[in-house]
Each structure stands twice: as structure tokens, then as C-alpha cells.
A and B are shown apart, each in its own frame.
Chain A
Amino acid sequence: MPALQLDNVRKVYQSGDEEIVALDHASLEVGDAEIVALVGPSGSGKTTLLSIAGGLLSPSEGRVVVAGDDISGYDPKALTRFRRDRVGFVFQSVNLVPFLTARENLLVVADFNRADRKAAGARADQLLGELGLGRRKGNLPGQLSGGERQRVAVGRAFMNAPSLVLIDEPTSALDTKLGEQVMELIVSEVRARDTAAVIVTHDLRMTHYADRTVHITDGVLESSG
């Protein structure tokens, strides 16, 4: 079962009198444990595609199926539940809660899930250990380096054991060396858990980490190996 299936998805925005087509008949399939890099310039629609795949936006037309669930027609409440249970996000600006420790940042997700606190705590500790943050888990984001913060964000994305991880420009704020480290980390985590991932990036140097690269320009997808 593919992790993600986009079928002729269109997203149209109304801006005053104008109609803006952010995504135009986009079709994409991401395999069960596949890593796909989505590359395009600013305004190409890659963020829109990521948002739709993650249930943050609803498509104007077309079908969106994530791990067998057709979310195209979900109402906001259903989408909220879907995001909580099925996908993980790594945001461009990291977006850690500044007054929570690394461990607590991971547990935020469990809070919303109303998951068993003990089990969640154990999972958080395990993830942080794997990410090399075992001894930093009691630190606040302000006390962590840029790379460490990114790792916490990656850990957070995996807390709910998602079927699909969506990553937005993970290296844009980092220098090349650090960027490569982060990409390696993300990829190894994704592979270790047999999850699928879509990584949005405008940095062509990072695409070799993915199984497949897909280009997008002006809302239109073109595939390349």
C-alpha cells in the first residue's frame, strides 16, 4: 500500500478578483518506505503540496490518500485527528516550544493524543537516545545548538509512529556540513522505521539522499529518477 497517493490534485486560491492556481493536476505516488525529494523554486507550490499531503490543507479538486485513508473529503476535525495519528512534520523553522525541555517537546504530541504517559515517556527517551540526545534531553531549546534542535524536531515527528513524515526545507538555515549531517540523520531515522518521507527542498545538493526526486514548477509536477 503506498504511503501517499495524490490523484489529479488541484489547489486554487482566491485573491481578490484573481484566481491563483497553487497546484495544477498534481499526481504523485510515494511508496511504503520510500523517500521522495520534492524540489522547486519559491512559489512553485511545493509547500502547498506538502500541506495537502499532511492534511493541513484540503484540495480544491482531486483525491488524497495517505496509507489507505482517503482524506480528500475530511472535515477539519477529522483532519486534526488524522494529523495527530498518522503523519509527522519537521518544520522549516524547527518550531520547538521554547519553555519545554527536549524531552517535553517530544511529549507534547502525547499530550494531545491522550496517550499513556509512561509509554510515551519511554518512547521519547528511546528516540532521543537514538538521536544522540540522551544527555541533552533535560535542556531547553535555548541551551541546544542549531543541529541539536533540528534533531529534537526530527524526534518529535516520529513520536506518534507516523505512516508518513513530511519535512519542510530541513537544511535551509544550516551550513553545508551541518545540513548534510541533518539529512543523514533524517534519512537514517526514516529508514530505521520503515516510514515513507517527502522532503521539500530547493537545495539540489541534498537530493542524493532521497530514493527519488520530483521537480515542481508553477504548481506542475514533473518526475525524474
Chain B
Amino acid sequence: MKVAMLELRRRPGRFAPALVALVLLTLLLLVLGGLLDGLANGSTGALRAQPGQLLTYSADSKLSLVRSHLDAATVAEVGRVAGVQQVGGLGVVLLGAKVPGRSDEANVAVFGYQIPPRGVPAPPDQVGDVYADRSLAAYGVQVGQTLEVGPGRYPVTVVGWVRDTDFLLQGSLWGSEATWRAAIASARPDAVLAPGTFPVLTVVTAPGTKPTDVAAAIDAATGGATHTVTRGEAVDSLPGLRQQRSTFNSIIYTTFFVAALVVALFFALLTLERIGLYAVFKAMGASSRQVFTQVVAQAMIVALVAFVIGGLLAWAASFAIPPEVPLQLTSARAVEVLVGLVVMSALGSAISLRRVVRVDPASAIG
């Protein structure tokens, strides 16, 4: 093993081509993963943060928050279904927001809520007060500021921050029901809803109940006027999300495969060049396993070093990237890339196993 380490230390240039390729691959994988996470999280935050296990939409809305609406009578009916512990209305309107001191507008999603989502305090008492998602800080938003939303310039005041609650890549502003209705009235008269009407309901199920059963019960109770799904299903049905995820994932898997190929080819060549050396080792009494372990160890270390360098580059790049590119480098993703890279390198180097085993120690002589 020591020989393998010493070679890496004394002859690093030999491994440079593989290292460069793997650094680029690491960068690509981290950026892909980061974009996938950023795009997904930035689209789904508001829904993932919902406190209830279920979300109820109107049946004809095809699970679209924008198209759905439920009148007061339906809301009351849902509240009466067995297994429903709590029902809260949820509404959203997508608007542009003028930030003091900035020329460009921020894209915001103004939410009205009754039951606080994860990490969000209870709805502010004052109409016009909102909690802002941290993502808006990149657009110059600060606590205490008053933003003007929509073409009607409806004023909202930021009273605090919340995290990971964005919707459709727009920064969320969380206000009381009254705030949200006022914003709609100002900006989108065509989307005004009668008092008591909400687009969507957050449903908290009673402990011990199965959410899917309660969902079915709700839809039955409303005579099919509603379509109730679990939070996870609601998240998944956001337009484009599934396609985005499968696109990115296919690119990611392909990239892992390419990494294995790069390592395989590089170490196959290295082994070929070192057949003489391996013959000498074997002549001196090294087993094929000992020789092979060195090859695999070298591959894994090169992968590890490539990951560190690539990781640092990705981290540095995340500062240079403009705010509208939703790159989110999470530690979970980093671990996944590290493990994948190291495993692929080990597998790639394993291609040399047969060659190593076939090296004839007798060739060291004569």
C-alpha cells in the first residue's frame, strides 16, 4: 500500500490527466445536482412546508394552485369529515415587487395562510405585514422594508425572514388572509375570490389515521367536487417538475458512468505501462491481490482529491453565479457525489484486475 501512496506523492504528474478529467466531472455533477435541488426546492418550498399531510384542490383544477378554488360551503364540509383535525385555507398570487433602492423587480408569490407552514410564525395581525423568504435577500429585500407589489403598487412590509418556502422559483411573502385578498384586489381583479373562498386547503389529519383514507373520505364527502392528495403528490404535480428531475437525473447517471470509464481507461493504461514493475513485485513475493489493492487504492485517492478540488471550485462558482440561477449546494448532494465518484473509480480500476492477475512473475527474469 505504501508504494501506491508514494507513487502518488512522488509522481503526481502521472495522474494529472485522470485528475483533471475527474475534477471537471465532479464540478459537473455538483452543479447538476445543485441546479436540480435548487430548481426543485425553489419551485416546491411553499408546498413542502405545508403543515398538513393533505392538500385539497377543486376537482376540475388538475392540481393547479392557480386554477383551483373552493367556496366557503365546501371548506366547511371538508372540516366536518372524520379524520380531519384541522383545515386551513391557502391562497397565492404571483406578482412583481418593487424593492426600495433597486431598479429591477423581484418576482414574488404572495401567500395568504391560516395554519402556519413549517418555520413560519402565525399570520401577522397587521394587514400588509408579511414574512419574506430568505431567497429575496439576493434581490435587496431587508426586514423592515416596504415593498410595492403588483401593478397597483400594494404596499407590504417585511417583518421577518423564513426559509425554503419559495413557490415556482418566486420568492414567497407570507401574510394573513386579509393581506393576500387585498393584494389580489389591487393587482388581479380577475382573480378576486369571494370571502371564505380559497384556492386550496391545507388539511391536518388526526393522529392514527391514514392520510390516503382521509383523502378519499374528503372527496367522497364533497361529492367529488374536491381532489385531495398527499403533500408529496401535490409537490410532484407541479408543472415540469417530474420532467426536470428525470432530465437532470439521466444526465447525472450518465456522468457517473463517464467517470467510471475515464478511470477505467486511465488505469488500464497505467497498468499496461507498469507490467514490468508488477512482474518484479510478484517475483519478490507480492500476491496479485496485494498488487491489485494498490491500483484500486490509487484510483480511489485520485477520485477523493478530484472531489475536494471540484468541490472547492463549485463552491467558489456559486458566488459568481447570478441570483436567478437557483444553485443550491447541499451536503447531502455532496456526499452522494463523493460516494458515487469513489465507487465508480474503484469499479473503473477493477477493469485492470484481469491484467494484474495474468502478469507472470517469471517475466521479471530474462
**Which A residues have a C-beta under 8 Å from some C-beta of B?**
47, 50-51, 54, 56-57, 77, 80-85, 89, 91-92, 95, 97, 99-100, 104, 107-109, 111-113, 156, 160, 168
Cβ of B79 under 8 Å from chain A: no
Contacts of B6 in A (CB 8 A): 99-100, 104
Decide if A80 touches B285 in the complex (CB within 8 Å). yes
Cβ of B102 under 8 Å from chain A: no
Contacts of A100 in B (CB 8 A): 3, 6, 10
Contacts of B283 in A (CB 8 A): 54, 56, 83, 89, 91
The residue from A51, A84, A95, A160 contacting B362, defined by CB atoms under 8 A apart: A51
Decide if A91 touches B290 in the complex (CB within 8 Å). no
Cβ of B316 under 8 Å from chain A: no
Decide if A47 touches B3 in the complex (CB within 8 Å). no
Decide if A84 touches B285 in the complex (CB within 8 Å). yes
Decide if B7 touches A99 in the complex (CB within 8 Å). yes
Contacts of B3 in A (CB 8 A): 97, 100, 108, 111
A101 → B minimal CB distance (Å): 9
Is chain A's binding surface mostly helix, strand, loop or mixed? helix
**Which B residues have a C-beta under 8 Å from some C-beta of A?**
1-3, 6-7, 10-11, 276-277, 280-287, 290, 361-362, 364-366
Decide if A47 touches B366 in the complex (CB within 8 Å). yes
The residue from A47, A77, A89, A104 contacting B284, defined by CB atoms under 8 A apart: A89
Return the chain B residue nearest A109 by Cβ: B284
A20 → B minimal CB distance (Å): 15
Decide if B285 touches A85 in the complex (CB within 8 Å). yes
Decide if B285 touches A109 in the complex (CB within 8 Å). yes
Contacts of B282 in A (CB 8 A): 80
Decide if A108 touches B366 in the complex (CB within 8 Å). no
* CA–CA, A113 and B285, complex, Å: 8
Contacts of A97 in B (CB 8 A): 3, 277, 280
Contacts of B7 in A (CB 8 A): 99
* CA–CA, A193 and B322, complex, Å: 73
The residue from B1, B2, B290, B365 contacting A51, defined by CB atoms under 8 A apart: B365
Decide if A112 touches B361 in the complex (CB within 8 Å). no
Decide if B362 touches A57 in the complex (CB within 8 Å). yes
Please list 20 pairs of residues, one from A and one from B, whose beta carbons are closer than 8 Å in the complex, sorted by A's number.
Answer: A51-B362, A56-B361, A56-B365, A80-B282, A83-B284, A84-B285, A84-B286, A91-B280, A91-B283, A91-B365, A92-B366, A97-B277, A99-B10, A99-B11, A100-B3, A100-B6, A104-B6, A107-B2, A109-B284, A111-B1
A sample of 6 more A-B contacts (CB under 8 A), given A57-B362, A108-B284, A156-B284, is: A83-B283, A92-B365, A95-B277, A99-B11, A112-B290, A113-B285
Contacts of B290 in A (CB 8 A): 112
Contacts of B362 in A (CB 8 A): 51, 56-57
* CA–CA, A109 and B280, complex, Å: 11
* CA–CA, A89 and B365, complex, Å: 9
